[in-house]
Chain A
Amino acid sequence: MNILVIEDDQEMAGFVERVLREEGHSVSVVHDGDSGLSMARSMDADLMIVDRMLPRKNGLDLVREYRESGGASPALFLSALGDVDHRVEGLKAGGDDYLTKPFAPSELVARVEALGRRGGSETPITVLKVGDLEMNLLARTVKRGAESIDLQPREFRLLEFLMRNAGQVVTRTMLLEKVWDYHFDPQTNVIDVHISRLRGKIDKEFDRPLLHTVRGAGYRLQA
Chain B
Amino acid sequence: MKLPLPSFARTTTFRLAVVHAVVFLFFTFGLLIYLFYSTAGYMRSQSVKELDGEVQALAAAFNSGGMDRLNQSVVERSSVPGPYFYVLQDPFGDTISGDFATIPDDLPVEGSRETNFTYQTLNRNGEVETRSANGIIIRLPNDANLMVAYDLGTRRQIVDRITRTVWTALPIGLAMSLIGGFLISRSAAQRAEQLTRTTDGIISGDLSRRAPVVGSGDEFDRLSERLNAMLDKLEHLMMTTRHAGDAIAHDLRSPLTRLRNRLEADLRDGDEADREESLERTIAEVDAVLATFNAILSLSRIQAGDAARFDTVDVSLLASELCELYEPAAEDDNLGFATEIEPGVSITGERSLIAQAMTNLLDNAIKYTPAGGALTLRVRTTADDHAEISVTDTGPGIPAEDRERATKRFVRLEASRTQPGNGLGLAMVDAIARLHRGNLELSDGPGEPPNTGLRAALILPKP
Q: How far is the CA of A180 from the CA of B356 in the complex (A)?
A: 13
Name the interface residues of B224-274: CB closer than 8 Å to any CB of A: none
Task: Give bound CA distance, A194 to B361, whole Å.
Answer: 19
A188 near B294 with CB under 8 A, answer no
Pair A216/B291 contact, Cβ less than 8 Å: no
What residues of A have a CB within 8 angstroms of the CB of B355 in the complex?
182, 184
The stretch from A63-71, A81-89, A143-151 touching chain B is A81-89
Residues of chain B lying within 8 A (CB to CB) of residue A26: none
Q: A102-B293, A216-B284, A216-B287 are in contact. Are A84 and B329 (CB under 8 A)?
A: no
Q: Is A38 an interface residue (CB 8 A)?
A: no
Contact in complex: B350, A84 (CB < 8 Å):
yes
CA A188 – CA B330 in complex, angstroms?
Answer: 10
Output the least CB separation between A105 and chain B (Å): 9
A187 and B420 contact, CB distance less than 8 A: yes
Contact A193 B420 (CB under 8 A): no
Among A100, A154, A180, A184, which residue has the most Cβ atoms of chain B within 10 A? A184
The answer to whether the Cβ of A189 comes within 8 Å of any Cβ in the partner chain is: yes
| Interface contact B420-A184, CB-CB below 8 Å | no
Residue of B284, B359, B420, B425 ringed by the most chain A CB atoms within 10 A? B359
Distance (whole angstroms) from the CB of A70 to the closest CB of chain B: 32
Are the C-beta atoms of A194 and B280 separated by less than 8 Å? Answer: no
| Residues of B close to A103: CB separation below 8 A | 290
Contact indicator A188/B287 (Cβ below 8 Å) = no
Q: Which residues of B contact A82 (CB under 8 A)?
A: 294, 297-298
Asked whether any CB of chain A lies closer than 8 Å to the CB of B325, the reply is: yes
Interface assignment of B283: CB less than 8 Å from any CB of chain A = yes
Cα(A215)–Cα(B281), bound, Å? 10
Q: Is the CB of B326 within 8 A of A190?
A: yes
Q: Is the CB of B297 within 8 A of A104?
A: no
CB of B363 within 8 A of CB of A188, answer: yes
A183 within 8 A of B: yes
* Known contacts A100-B294, A194-B328; A188 and B367 CB within 8 A of each other: yes
- How many angstroms between the C-alpha atoms of A197 and B294 in the bound complex? 29
In the bound complex, residues from chain B placing their C-beta under 8 Å from that of A84 are 350-352
Closest chain B residue to A104 by CB distance? B287
Partner of B366, one of A85, A104, A188: A188
Closest to B308 in A: A85
CB-CB nearest in chain B for A176: B325
CB distance from A188 to the nearest CB of B (A): 5
If A84-B350, A102-B290, A216-B284 touch, does A187 touch B421 (CB 8 Å cutoff)?
A: yes
A189 neighbours in B (Cβ, 8 Å)? 329
Within 8 Å CB of A180, what residues of B? 321, 325
Q: Which residue of A lies closest to B290 (CB)?
A: A102
Partner of B291, one of A185, A188, A196: A185
Among residues 148 to 205 in chain A, which have CB atoms less than 8 Å away from a CB atom of chain B? 154, 180, 182-190, 193-194, 196-197
Are B352 and A184 interface neighbours, CB within 8 A?
A: yes
CA distance A193 to B324 in the complex (A): 12
For residue A99, give the distance in angstroms from its CB to the closest CB of chain B.
Answer: 12
Partner of A186, one of B324, B328, B352, B363: B363
Contact of B2 with A by CB under 8 A = no
Shortest Cβ gap from A160 to chain B (Å)? 17
Q: Which of A183, A186, A187 has the most CB of B within 10 A?
A: A187
Docked pose: A103 CA to B309 CA in angstroms = 26
- A187 and B332 CA atoms in complex are apart in Å by 15
Who on chain A is nearest to B282 by CB?
A216
Interface residues of B, count at CB 8 A: 35
Closest to A81 in B: B301
A49 to B305, alpha carbons, bound, how many Å?
A: 29
Name the residue of chain B whose CB is nearest to the CB of A184: B356
Residue of B284, B298, B331, B367 near A184 (CB, 8 A) is: B298
Q: Is the CB of A154 within 8 A of B324?
A: yes
A18 to B301, alpha carbons, bound, how many Å? 31
B325 and A190 within 8 A (CB): yes
Assess the B367–A83 pair: CB atoms within 8 A.
no
- What's the least CB distance linking B317 to chain A, in Å? 12
Contact with A along B67-98 (1 / 0, CB 8 A): 00000000000000000000000000000000
B425 lies within 8 A of A216 (CB): no
On chain B, the residues within 8 Å of A104 by CB distance are 283, 286-287, 290
Roughly how many angstroms separate A100 CA and B297 CA in the complex, as a whole number? 11
Residue in B298, B324, B328, B352 with the greatest tally of chain A CB atoms within 10 Å: B328
Minimum C-beta distance from A184 to chain B (A):
5
Question: Which of A10-67 touch B at CB < 8 Å?
Answer: none
**B350 to chain A: which residues have CB within 8 Å?**
84
Assembly CA distance A193 to B283 (angstroms): 22
A100 vs B39: C-alpha distance in the bound complex, in angstroms? 88
Flag if B359 contacts A184 (CB, 8 Å).
yes
Cβ of B366: which chain A residues have Cβ within 8 Å of it?
188
Do residues A182 and B359 form an inter-chain contact, with CB atoms below 8 A?
A: yes
Give the contacts of B277-330 with A (CB-CB under 8 A). 280, 283-284, 286-287, 290-291, 293-294, 297-298, 301, 309, 321, 324-326, 328-329
Residues of A within 8 A of B290 (CB): 102-104
In the complex, residue of chain A having the shortest beta-carbon distance to the beta carbon of B324: A154
Q: Shortest Cβ distance from B382 into chain A, in angstroms?
A: 26
Q: How far is the CB of A196 from chain B (nearest CB, A)?
A: 8
* Closest beta carbon of chain B to A131's beta carbon, Å: 25
A184 to B321, CA, bound (A): 15
The docked-state distance in angstroms from the alpha carbon of A180 to that of B396 is 31
| Residues of A in contact with B (beta carbons under 8 Å apart) | 82-85, 100, 102-104, 154, 180, 182-190, 193-194, 196-197, 215-216
Binding site for A on B (CB under 8 A): 280, 283-284, 286-287, 290-291, 293-294, 297-298, 301, 309, 321, 324-326, 328-329, 331-332, 350-352, 355-356, 359-360, 362-363, 366-367, 420-421, 425
Given pairs A102-B294, A215-B280, 6 additional interface contacts (CB within 8 A) = A102-B293, A184-B298, A188-B362, A188-B366, A193-B328, A216-B284
17 sample A-B contacts, Cβ–Cβ < 8 Å, listed by A number: A84-B351, A84-B352, A102-B293, A104-B283, A154-B324, A182-B355, A182-B359, A185-B294, A186-B359, A186-B363, A187-B367, A188-B362, A188-B363, A190-B325, A190-B328, A215-B280, A216-B284
- Of all A-B residue pairs in the complex, the 4 with the closest CB atoms, nearest first, are A193-B328, A193-B329, A187-B363, A84-B352
